[in-house]
Chain A
Amino acid sequence: MRLRLSGEIIKSDLVRRVEDLSGQNIAMCYQCGRCSAGCPVVDEMDILPSEVIRLLQLGQIEEVLDSKTIWICASCLQCASRCPRGVEFSSICDALRAIVLRRRTATPSVGADDVSRVMRTDAPQMGVVGALRKLNG
């Protein structure tokens, strides 16, 4: 993978926006990888949680916004509980999803029509409401 780096790219306004929205300081991460090691859904992700943070440190936000990873996070916060530097990857994911969803150009990964009839009648309300709020905005 080729990365284009420059001072301007690294100081991306959109990355600062992610920091504001998530309340997280991305520079705190020193890439130990405990978030990726502890993540229960990491097998499904195309970019590891620690890699997402590294890409953000390098200003590569569009690549991160296009990833599957941000829609797979279950907000369980295991990453945050194990981070020795106090970074909450789940909050960064919420911020990244918010940026995509607020652009209103992308198709959300879960829409009301995607929730099958079985799921609507069978699953607890909290699951359906939670999924739609997290993944549809």
Chain B
Amino acid sequence: MKIPYYPGCTLHERALDFDKASRECANVLGVELEELPIWTCCGAVFPLTTDSVMEILAAVRNLAYASRMGDKVVTLCSFCYNVLKRTNKVMREDAERREKVNLFLRADTETRDKTESFLKKDYVGQVDVLHYIEMLRDVVGFDEMAKRVKTRLEGLRVAPYYGCMLLRPHGEMEFDKNPEQPTIFEDFLTALGCDVVDFPMKTECCGGFQIVRDEETAIACSQTVVASAIKRDADLIITTCPLCLYNLDRKQKEMEKRVSGFRKIPVIYFTQLLGIALGIDAEYLDFSDNYVDPRPALAEKNLV
């Protein structure tokens, strides 16, 4: 089964490890992630001002590219998922902005994309935006996924970190039933045989893009999240977001300097953990970019 896939810039550059593991896991589960032949950055953040048109244009173009391939598009990065899903809702529900954006798309068709017949019809939200974890639950099925598991991750204590962008605003993202107490990653981890570590900071912000403006502000946020998982004896944290991983993993270097006796905890992408359970080839499991190496924690449970 083929599903259109939008990687986004970060998975194309800094988070190749995430992209690689996710594609291979999908292959093992019988899904081919078919990368959009043309795509651009989605804009990374959804504009919260109601008169934004130019700010959503890039995201709409990507959705329109996806609409040429099928009726859904899968993405992995939490920011891309948030931007594409919220933009899609604007295109479905806001007639005024929909018309304006389509004027731009028609202009594209008339000029540079003529040869490709970029858009045969207006983009009005034809595509459903799916997160990879939703694909695992709704297209593959967690039960089916569990059947393909070669090594159950028994005894591995995993803290699922959701962050903000998958969950909020709940009315639009509708990612899980309860934005304060989501369970989709718990269900995913249970299917892999892990011990799920529930921790109260799982839906708190890691500091996000504020790391660029003021590192101190962002590290205060990410340290709260990391400390909460450590306190509950987690062996590792999983995430879906390259920026969360950066703030939670890379910034432990700074946390070590701030807190005496700081115990580090590895943070990996959820598809890397899935890859270990599915027994994918080591070439798809690249941890060289992680500040805290997850391999010792995994070796302790005989998982590497």
Q: Given the complex of chains A and B, what is the CA–CA distance between A124 and B16 in angstroms?
A: 11
Contact A22 B49 (CB under 8 A): yes
Known: A88-B48, A91-B48, A126-B79. A75 touches B208 (CB 8 A): yes
Closest chain B residue to A79, Cβ basis? B168
Contact B221 A75 (CB under 8 A): no
Closest chain B residue to A73, Cβ basis? B210
Contact A124 B43 (CB under 8 A): no
Shortest Cβ distance from B57 into chain A, in angstroms? Answer: 13
Known: A76-B168, A126-B243. A41 touches B207 (CB 8 A): yes
Tell whether B50 is near chain A: CB-to-CB under 8 Å.
Answer: yes
Contact A110 B212 (CB under 8 A): yes
Tell whether B51 is near chain A: CB-to-CB under 8 Å.
Answer: yes
Residues 54-81 of A, flagged 1 when their CB comes within 8 A of B and 0 if not, give 0000000000000000011011111011
Tell whether A84 is near chain B: CB-to-CB under 8 Å.
Answer: no
Interface centre among A110, A122, A125, A132 (most CB of B within 10 A): A125
Contact B48 A125 (CB under 8 A): no
Tell whether B193 is near chain A: CB-to-CB under 8 Å.
Answer: no
Contact B212 A23 (CB under 8 A): no
Q: Given the complex of chains A and B, what is the CA–CA distance between A131 and B79 in angstroms?
A: 12
- The B-contacting residues of A in range 105-131, CB under 8 angstroms, are 109-110, 114-115, 119, 122-131
Shortest Cβ distance from B201 into chain A, in angstroms? Answer: 9
Tell whether B301 is near chain A: CB-to-CB under 8 Å.
Answer: no
Contact A74 B205 (CB under 8 A): yes
Partner of B45, one of A23, A119, A133: A133
Label chain A's interface by main secondary structure. Answer: helix
Residues of B within 8 A of A88 (CB): 48, 169
Q: Given the complex of chains A and B, what is the CA–CA distance between A115 and B212 in angstroms?
A: 7
Residues of A within 8 A of B55 (CB): 133
Partner of B214, one of A44, A124, A125: A44
Closest chain A residue to B245, Cβ basis? A124
Tell whether A134 is near chain B: CB-to-CB under 8 Å.
Answer: yes
Contact B205 A40 (CB under 8 A): yes
Contact B45 A127 (CB under 8 A): no
Contact A127 B49 (CB under 8 A): no
Partner of B169, one of A80, A98, A124, A128: A80
Contact A133 B212 (CB under 8 A): no
Label chain B's interface by main secondary structure. Answer: loop
Residues of A within 8 A of B10 (CB): 124-126
Shortest Cβ distance from A28 into chain B, in angstroms? Answer: 15
Contact B51 A21 (CB under 8 A): yes
Partner of B208, one of A76, A98, A115: A76
Contact B41 A129 (CB under 8 A): yes
Shortest Cβ distance from B90 into chain A, in angstroms? Answer: 11
Shortest Cβ distance from B286 into chain A, in angstroms? Answer: 15
Residues of A within 8 A of B208 (CB): 74-76, 127, 130
Contact A81 B14 (CB under 8 A): no
Known: A124-B243, A126-B9, A126-B44. A76 touches B164 (CB 8 A): yes
Tell whether A135 is near chain B: CB-to-CB under 8 Å.
Answer: yes
Contact B170 A74 (CB under 8 A): no
Residues of B within 8 A of A26 (CB): none
Partner of B207, one of A22, A74, A110, A115: A74
6 residue pairs bridging A and B, Cβ less than 8 Å apart: A77-B164, A78-B204, A94-B48, A124-B242, A126-B9, A130-B243
- Kindly list 11 other residue pairs between chains A and B, CB separation below 8 angstroms, not including A74-B218, A131-B209: A20-B51, A21-B50, A23-B50, A44-B220, A78-B204, A78-B205, A124-B15, A124-B242, A124-B243, A126-B242, A130-B45
